[in-house]
Every structure is written in structure tokens, then in C-alpha cells.
Chains A and B, each alone.
Chain A
Amino acid sequence: MKTVFKKPESLTDAKFHYCPGCTHGIVHRLMAECMDELNIRESTIGICPVGCSVLAYDYFNCDMLEAAHGRAPAIAAAIKRLMPDRTLFTYQGDGDLASIGMGEIVHASVRGEKITVIFINNTVYGMTGGQMAPTTLLGQVTTTSPYGRSKDNEGYPAKMAELLAQNEGSAYICRTAVNNPSNVIKTKKAIKKALQTQIKGVGFSMVEVLSTCPTNWGLSPLDSMKWLEDNMIPYYPLGELKVKEDK
């Protein structure tokens, strides 16, 4: 019998702990497929964040390190400098990357660290129970913005891809979504391109993936996909924001 679909070698056999409808699982799989296709599993080191994907070290079948909240880019940069022929990726959520880790991510990009960042933007702190994140949309109700995020009180949502794209050190910055099959395929292409950018030594690369959190949004998985499309994509437009081909 011909095998038409199988688990990537770059994922372990562990069962994901993610909530029903959560899109972390999709992005994990895409990342693992890219590692398989680029044949880099044995030379890749992944850094997990603090947040829902803290347990990613159980899921990726490569050397992994679990970071303090927000510090993954600093850790990845140090390892990359000490071992330049390895592939380094960080996998971070919006609280980790855009709030407590704002310093580390901006400087990694400014310096042009040759690492790849997978940034999951689902507009809330998932693991701690749906608090406001820097990427929470205006008007969005969360447990710590119970009256809806307002520009005058909580301030504006952070556009990380745009922010980092302007840095000279950023070589590949792309925003994608995983709300439908077409966008899932585009996300995989972007992740692969980001990893190739690192392997070629061009500079810093990041893929911001618009994702869903049905549990904390209080929506069904299907309604969450629609909410992402109707609310997130208009504020966080999809596409490549920076593509630098050469060193």
C-alpha cells in the first residue's frame, strides 16, 4: 500500500495537550514538515516559550530548551553564535514575544541574529486564562479588559511584523494565518522560507501566524476561524513584509 500521509519525523509520538480547535497543533506540524523537508532535524535546536506552547519540548523531535518568559531570542542567539552551523528556532506566543519579551525580540531583529522565530498571535494570554495581550484588538473583551480594550485606557494593539520588518537586520518577515487550507499552505511556505533564510545566513527571520484560541475567546472552533478572518486579518494584514535575498 502506498503511504499518502504520515506524521513528520520531526514530531514525537506524544499527544498534544492543546484545547479542541486550538491552532498550535497545525503550526507544530507545519514546522516539523519543514524540518523534515529541509533535512535539518538533527542539526536543529528549538527554544520554547512560557505560555500554552511551553511543552513544545515534548512534541518536537529535536534538541529543545525551555526558556524563561520572553527570553527565547536571547538564548537562541547565544547558541547560534556558539554553533553557527546549527538551525535555531524559537516558538513564542504574543504575551511571551510582544509583552515581556519585547526587548529580546526587537534586539535579535535589530542585530540580525540568524535565527527563525515562529510567533503565534491569538490576541490573548492562553495558558493563564485569557488575559489581555499586547495584540488584543480594540474593543476585544478579555478577563483583564472586561470593558473591551480601549485606545485611551489599554492603548493600541502591537503590530509586531511591521515593527520588526523595518529593522535592517530582519531578512524575512511574513504574517500568515491558519484559518483555512489555503492559508495553512501559505504558512508552511513562509516557515520554510524563513528557515532557508537562516540557513543561507541572510539574517533574522520571523513568521507571525494569526491563530485561534476558542477556549478563551468563548467561541466554537469554527466560529473562531470566522472571528479571526473578520477581526484579526483587517488589523493584521497577511503577506510578506520584508524579503532580503542576499547577505
Chain B
Amino acid sequence: MKGNEALAEGAIIAGCRGFFGYPITPSSEIAEYMARKLPGLGGVFFQAESELAAINMVYGGSSTGKRVMTASSGPGISLKQEGISFIAEAELPCLIVNVSRGGPGLGGIQPSQADYFQATRGGGHGDYRLIVLAPSGAQEMMDYTIEAFDLADRYRTPVMIMAEGTLGNIMEPIIVRKPEEKSYDKSWAITGCKGRKPNIINTLHLSSEVLEERNRHLAAKYKLIEQNEKRAETFLTEDADIIVVAFGLMARIVKKSVMEARKKGIKAGLIRPITLWPFPDEHFKKAAETVRLILSVEINMGQMIEDIRLSVNGKVPVEFYGRIGFTPNPEEITKQLLLLAEREGF
């Protein structure tokens, strides 16, 4: 299956019955898949007039308690930020997918990881965070999507899947796993007040006390997510002198370079953050005890490197290698590792 289709099928398996979107390359196959499948499943596929309308349809859709989603790419995700801020404050579960491309501006449709800051810092106005999952292949496009809906319901928060454009188009075999059915309390949903008091979904807090209380409540929830949900994959890190950090498909490419470097006698390893937020800082704190150098490889001009530096807190030098418009290939990363090892005398 194509990555975008695996993601869409994952959403259907997870019980998503509302898709609200606007066409944009390289995410459009998700909308097209949902347009074909959802009507036959009693679901709603709705092509919105704009990205703004699409995210507000997600706001409305998730307020009914049903599982809903949208998918877009950089310029569209920028337009959606207003709505995402409202959804985060209203504590509505939903999935937002960014099949990301190069920016800034209209940028280009080449795969990119340049929306890392936007995704991991909230993105819109106010104090909030999104849980951000970064799959590295078509199978994970499906599996993480299924999991994203559960995380969204568990914490009543929007979850983002961030996948560089290549992951949307990659064609790989998929094993479909049926998730265990979980039920969540959705007594907050607006469905008509028959037999109960009216429910209100609102993000306006005119009183200073209530505004602060709401922000403290959200902050406590984000703290809990940080405690429970940090995830990373490690590869050959135990004895490593140099650790490469990469996420998404980039991490799979780096794995090859790490193996090549090992063949040449360099003790290289890989840490692949799976949750971009919460950032898996413990993995880095641990690595900082033994490792001599960290190299962040990103398809941007250096964004995740800031989180790595915060995590190691000056204990280890952190260097950067990145490109945009191109995805670095295994040979050029291996070359970087050889250059660094020679310079440092590893």
C-alpha cells in the first residue's frame, strides 16, 4: 500500500467516520481514499472550501464525540493553526496529518521536515501542545494513525502525524492488525440535550481566574503526557562514540549509514524520536553520559537540534547536517560520519 492510503485505511480501522479536508500535494491521496471509502461505511467525507473551513469542520465534527480527522501539508497546516488552537483549548480529540513539504511560503512539493517547530511548539496562538507522532514507513503510517485516535481520546487532545512527503508516496507491504476496542467517556459531546442538561463547548474565558485555571489544567495534562508518552527507537547506541539523530523516513536512511560506518570501524548509533512532542529527552540524557558527539540529520535547516541540545544540556557537542529540496542519501551521511570521526580522532 501507498503510505497515504495505509494512513487512511488505519483511520477507518480506528473508527474515523468524518474526514474534512482541502486538496494539497503531497497529502491528497488521503482525502481521495476517504472520499471513496467513507460514504459506504456511513461516514462523512467533506471537501471544504478552504483549509480554514476544513479545520473548523473538524472542530465541529469532534465536538459530536465522533472520531474525525483532516490531512494537509505545510501551507495548509499554517492556515489551520487558528482552528487547532481552538480544538486544543476545547479539549477535543481529533487527528491532524501533515504530509510535509518544503517551505517557507509556497516552498516546493519535495519531502521536508521543516514544519518541526510548528508541530512541536503548538503552532497557533496560546499555550498548548499537540502530541506529534513521526512514522518511518507505510506500516507505521497505519499503526500510528490507529494509535493516534486512542491517544487523542485518552487525553482529549488533538494529535498530529507528521510524515515527510516521501512517506505518503512510499509503496510497502502492510500487515493489518485489528486494534482492541476501547471505550471513552464522551458525555461532554454536543449531540442535542435530550434527557440531560445542555453541553457547552467554549474557549472564551473572560475572567482572569478562569483563564489561568484553564491554562493550568492544560499544562497539567501536557505534563502527564510528557510523563507517559515519550517514545524513541534506539539502534546500536550502547557502545557508540557518535550518535546520529533522525526521525521519520530519514531515520531509516540513517540506519544504513550507521551500519556502513560500523563496517569502517566507527562506533556509530542512532536515536530516532518517535514522539516529536513530547520529545524523548531521557534517551539523550542517558546517551550524554557516554557518547562523544551527536549529529542531528534533518530535512530542514536545523530544528530538532534545539530539542537535542536542551536535552543534553551542554554535556555533549551536537552538530547538524541537513538539506532541503533533497533527502540526504546514505552515502552522504556516511561521509559526514567519516569526516567527523577523523576530525575528532574516534
Residue picked from A55, A65, A86, most chain B C-beta under 10 Å: A65
State whether B18 touches A82 (Cβ < 8 A): yes
> A42-B192, A78-B61 known; A65 and B49 CB under 8 Å?
no
Quick one: which of B183-238 are within 8 Å of A by CB? 190-195, 198-204
**In the assembly, what is the distance between CA of A82 and CA of B190, in Å?**
12
Residue picked from B66, B195, B201, B204, most chain A C-beta under 10 Å: B201
How many residues of B sit at the interface, in one of the four size bands?
35 or more
> A61-B198, A63-B199, A104-B49 known; A82 and B56 CB under 8 Å?
no
CB distance from A92 to the nearest CB of B (A): 13
State whether B58 touches A83 (Cβ < 8 A): no
Residue picked from B52, B53, B83, B204, most chain A C-beta under 10 Å: B53
B174 CB contacts on chain A under 8 angstroms:
none
A184 CB contacts on chain B under 8 angstroms:
none
> A68-B83, A68-B86, A82-B18 known; A63 and B198 CB under 8 Å?
yes
Quick one: which of B42-96 are within 8 Å of A by CB? 44, 46, 48-50, 52-54, 56-61, 63-64, 66, 68, 82-83, 86
Number of residues from A at the complex interface, CB < 8 A: 32
Would you call B20 an interface residue if the criterion is a C-beta within 8 Å of the partner chain's C-beta atoms? yes
**In the assembly, what is the distance between CA of A77 and CA of B57, in Å?**
7
State whether B190 touches A79 (Cβ < 8 A): yes
B48 CB contacts on chain A under 8 angstroms:
74
> A63-B200, A65-B201 known; A86 and B56 CB under 8 Å?
no
Would you call A227 an interface residue if the criterion is a C-beta within 8 Å of the partner chain's C-beta atoms? no
Task: Mark each residue of chain B from 244 to 272: 1 if its CB lies under 8 Å from any CB of chain A, else 0.
Answer: 00000000000000000000000000000
State whether A82 touches B192 (Cβ < 8 A): no
**In the assembly, what is the distance between CA of A103 and CA of B53, in Å?**
9
- Nearest CB to that of B50 among chain A residues? A103
**In the assembly, what is the distance between CA of A42 and CA of B42, in Å?**
24
- Nearest CB to that of B17 among chain A residues? A82
> A57-B202, A74-B53 known; A65 and B192 CB under 8 Å?
no
B68 CB contacts on chain A under 8 angstroms:
78, 82
B66 CB contacts on chain A under 8 angstroms:
82
Would you call A64 an interface residue if the criterion is a C-beta within 8 Å of the partner chain's C-beta atoms? yes
State whether B53 touches A107 (Cβ < 8 A): yes
CB distance from A182 to the nearest CB of B (A): 33
**In the assembly, what is the distance between CA of A78 and CA of B87, in Å?**
14
Listed A/B pairs (12) with beta-carbon separation below 8 Å: A43-B192, A61-B198, A63-B199, A68-B82, A74-B60, A75-B57, A75-B60, A77-B46, A78-B20, A78-B68, A81-B46, A104-B53
Q: Which residues of A contact B (CB under 8 A)?
A: 41-45, 47, 54-55, 57, 60-68, 71, 74-79, 81-83, 86, 103-104, 107
Q: Which residues of B contact A (CB under 8 A)?
A: 17-18, 20, 44, 46, 48-50, 52-54, 56-61, 63-64, 66, 68, 82-83, 86, 190-195, 198-204
New contact pairs (10) apart from A64-B198, A82-B44, A86-B191, CB-CB < 8 Å: A44-B192, A57-B202, A74-B52, A74-B57, A74-B60, A78-B57, A81-B18, A81-B46, A82-B68, A103-B53
